[in-house]
Amino acid sequence: MKILHTSDWHLGRQLYGKKRDAEFHAFLEWLLNTLKQEAVDVLIVAGDVFDTSAPSHFSQAQYYHFLTHVAQTGCQHVVIVAGNHDSPSFINAPKPLLSSLSIYVVGQVNGDPHQDVLLLKNQEQQVELIVCAVPYLRDRDIRTVSAGESVEDKAQKLIAGAQQYYEALAAIAVAHQEEQSGWVPIVATGHLFAAGGKVQEGDGVRDLYIGGLGHFPAALFPPVFDYIALGHLHVPQKVAGQDHIRYSGSPIPMGFGEAKQQKQVLLIELEAQGLPQVQALAIPTFQALAQVRGDWSAIEQQLSQHLENDLSVWLEISYEGEELITDLRERIEARVQNSPVEVLRIQNQRIKQQVLQGNETVQNLDELSPTEVFERCLESHAIPVSQRFELRAAFLEILNSSTDH
């Protein structure tokens, strides 16, 4: 039994207004070839198929084109769960049609947890894999609201609700497992923030959590799962050092903070009872990204290196010198003109520092993240320090919920 674990495709995502359709196309073609070359039996996509709950027609076409070609690779089953960026109803809409192609989609928690325990059968109609297909768990799915709850109370209820849901599915899966003539592995999915998980600046995930609130401890996953395929964090990683609980990470860098990461998918082999064999398969780089930082001399030197390479690269430039340069953009654009080097973002940290100190009016909100804007509001309104934790938590809850729709 070979399983390929991937997640966080974010089809349709742009990078500072730059479309990335060609990268997504190249990745999906590479993935189809990989399914065939590795003789994969089951493909698992652990959430965030799309970058928005209302994907463009082009992104939808990429998704369905991929799904219609999976069968040609020899892959027998596909399991897709929705992430926090996905529309549950959109993911679920073609469920009857896709199930006839052995493609199983779970957009949201069902009233009957039995529906989210999938029995994947081979050509002889024997169950060969049991999948507890858990999508992104929204507040309304697993938490009851009580008056006067603190931020910590809400977080604990969310964790307890997620734990109970996983335990309910695990019990159903074990009952199915015991009905089989031989050992059948049980795999679970999830789209959540596991405690201790690593994130990157600019990945769109880090700012949605405060402290350890909302982080799901690995110890709360039922021990019956032979492998747990997670999505939500873009950095490939084990959870709590355990080989069988993994994030595959995003297939392409979602921001410049991920530019140096080696992107990957995970190939899992399950044989008899024991630890799964997990192999990371490196994904090629389809569009080079790079960060350029420093004073003007350092920026000029790094730009010269990229220009000498004469390769297509997208840059994020951060000026960190002491000298106040008011024509920074003009200087940079003049250097890269008529070259394959494209600058997508320029940050003038010298001016930004003055903005944060209140010495200038903000000229471009792109220079500030949502959390930086909120922190500046706290400062400008002289909010007491004792009140800021609750206000930050409420702000981040709103910011997080805005990605659910």
pLDDT at 286: 96
Domain 2-282 has CATH 3.40.50.450: no
pLDDT at 44: 98
Q: How many CB atoms lie within 10 A of CB 32?
A: 17
CA pair distance 81, 135, nearest whole angstrom: 5
Per-residue pLDDT of the chain (405 residues; tens, 9 = 90+): 899 999 999 999 999 999 999 999 999 999 999 999 999 999 999 999 999 999 999 999 999 999 999 999 999 999 999 999 999 999 999 999 999 999 999 999 987 899 999 999 998 899 999 999 999 998 877 766 666 677 777 878 888 999 999 999 999 999 999 999 888 999 999 999 998 777 766 555 655 554 555 689 999 999 999 999 999 999 999 999 999 999 999 999 999 989 999 999 999 999 877 789 999 999 999 999 999 999 999 999 999 999 999 999 999 999 998 888 888 999 999 999 999 999 999 988 776 555 555 544 444 555 566 777 787 787 777 677 666 666 776 776 676 665 544
CA pair distance 289, 312, nearest whole angstrom: 9
Helix (H) or strand (E) holding 279: strand 277-282
Q: What per-residue string of b and e applies to 202-215 under the rule 16 or more CB within 10 Å gives b?
A: bbbbbbbbbeebbb
pLDDT at 386: 65
pLDDT at 282: 98
pLDDT at 207: 52
Q: How many CB atoms lie within 10 A of CB 71?
A: 13
Q: What is the fold of 288-404?
A: Double Stranded RNA Binding Domain (3.30.160)
Alpha helices by DSSP H, listed for 316-369, are 328-336, 349-356
Q: Which two tokens stand for residue 295?
A: 């004073």
CATH 3.30.160.720 positions along the chain are: 288-404
Helix (H) or strand (E) holding 92: helix 88-92
Q: Which two tokens stand for residue 109?
A: 């928690």
pLDDT at 360: 46
DSSP states of 107-138 as a string?
-S--SSGGGGEEEEE-TTS-EEEEEE------
Let me know: does 185 contact 272? Beta carbons within 8 Å: no
What's the pTM? Answer: 0.85
CATH 3.60.21.10 positions along the chain are: 2-282
